[in-house]
């Protein structure tokens, strides 16, 4: 299969590396030093204390690559639209676009370049961290969950499962992928959002009564939206799961916390913002999420 992975960050590097074992893979990134390092010395994944070298072809421009069978987005969601526009030369009437990005609602952006019948959404339980140029620690493995929003008439999901599993992933096809995405979203819209605004580690949320009350309010609003979408969840089970995530990672640093601490733009629009967008479609009031989105954006802009 001919595959383009957009974004050579930690996750893009992990997927680009594994898939390159049995596929024609292009890793597209706009950082010239990253691309040069990968092409010169290979892409090194540190796994279980040792390095394994992979050889995907890294490029700063997709010009000349031609059409691909699968394009995987691994840029931060706020750059998705620009990334798709810059690389639309690889997309034709048979190309599928996949997102395993954090948050929800990515299909709204992707549908501007391909029809919904060729959009694949999902989540990944793998994780990683960049050690240096062309060197990534593959810290943990898990399941790659994929699905579509409409009927998979060409059985592309099963084709991808075979391709991904052969390359070393544990892939599961879901009939209702949105429910899985929202199940993960509840943790992000509570823990990630609050730790970002308060600039605290994950454990603080479960420890502090005021922070925990806010987390529960955010969860309840998000569940009210999901219920209107037909994605029914047990509120107490979700709250218990989020609290456990906070307690189990007391020193954990969420993406919004880290981005705000380092003066970077965040992905809040596809995390808390995705709840706000869905709430507007279904006529649900989510004042806490609206506050969080505005607060995070204000924090992003405070040093401009």
Structural domain spans, the chain: 2-175, 180-301
The overall average pLDDT reported for the chain is 95
Range list of β-strands (E), the chain: 2-6, 24-28, 43-47, 50-54, 57-59, 70-73, 96-99, 119-124, 127-132, 135-140, 143-147, 170-173
Which helix or strand (DSSP H or E) is residue 18 part of?
helix 10-19
- Secondary structure (3-state) at 218: helix
pLDDT tens digit sequence for 217-260: 999 999 999 999 999 999 999 999 999 999 999 999 999 999 99
128, 16 contact by CB (below 8 A): no
Residue 303 pLDDT more than 80? no
| Backbone torsions φ then ψ of 173, nearest 5 degrees | -90, 130
Residue 194 CA to residue 201 CA, distance in Å, equals: 10
Smallest CA-to-CA distance from 90 within 111, 113, 106, 74 is with 113
- pLDDT by residue (tens digit) across 146-165? 999 999 999 999 999 999 99
pTM of the entire structure?
Answer: 0.90
Compute CA distances 23 → 43, 56, 108, whole Å. Answer: 15, 9, 28
Give per-residue pLDDT as tens, 171-215.
999 999 999 999 999 999 999 999 999 999 999 999 999 999 999
Specify the CATH class of 180-301 in words.
mainly alpha
At the topology level of CATH, where does 2-175 sit? Rossmann fold (3.40.50)
Instruction: Categorize the per-residue pLDDT at 49 as very low, low, confident or very high, splitting at 50, 70 and 90.
Output: confident
């Amino acid at each position: 299969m001919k595959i383009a992975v957009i974004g050579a960050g930690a996750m893009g590097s992990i997927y680009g590396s594994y898939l390159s074992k049995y596929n024609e893979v292009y890793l597209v990134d706009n950082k010239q030093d990253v691309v040069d390092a990968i092409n010169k010395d290979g892409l090194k994944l540190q796994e279980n204390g040792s390095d394994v070298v992979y050889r995907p072809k890294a490029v700063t421009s997709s010009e000349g690559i031609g059409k691909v069978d699968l394009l995987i987005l691994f840029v931060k969601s706020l750059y998705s639209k620009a990334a798709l526009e810059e690389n639309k030369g690889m997309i034709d009437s048979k190309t599928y676009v996949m997102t395993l990005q954090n948050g929800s609602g990515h299909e709204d952006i992707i549908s501007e370049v391909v029809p919904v019948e060729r959009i694949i959404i999902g989540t990944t339980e793998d994780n990683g961290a960049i050690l240096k140029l062309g060197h990534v620690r593959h810290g943990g493995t898990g399941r790659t969950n994929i699905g579509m929003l409409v009927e998979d008439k060409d059985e592309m999901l099963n084709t991808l499962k075979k391709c991904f599993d052969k390359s070393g992933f544990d892939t599961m096809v879901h009939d209702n992928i949105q429910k899985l995405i929202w199940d993960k979203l509840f943790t992000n819209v509570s823990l990630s959002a609050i730790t970002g605004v308060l600039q605290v580690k994950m454990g603080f949320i479960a420890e502090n009564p005021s922070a925990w009350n806010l987390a529960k309010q955010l969860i309840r609003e998000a569940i009210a939206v999901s219920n209107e979408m037909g994605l029914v969840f047990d509120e107490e089970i979700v709250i218990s799961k989020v609290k456990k995530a906070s307690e189990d990672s007391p020193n954990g640093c969420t993406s919004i916390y880290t981005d705000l601490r380092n003066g970077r733009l965040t992905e809040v629009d596809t995390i808390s913002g995705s709840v706000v967008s869905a709430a507007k479609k279904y006529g649900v009031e989510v004042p806490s999420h609206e506050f969080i989105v505005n607060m995070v954006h204000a924090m992003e802009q405070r040093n401009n």
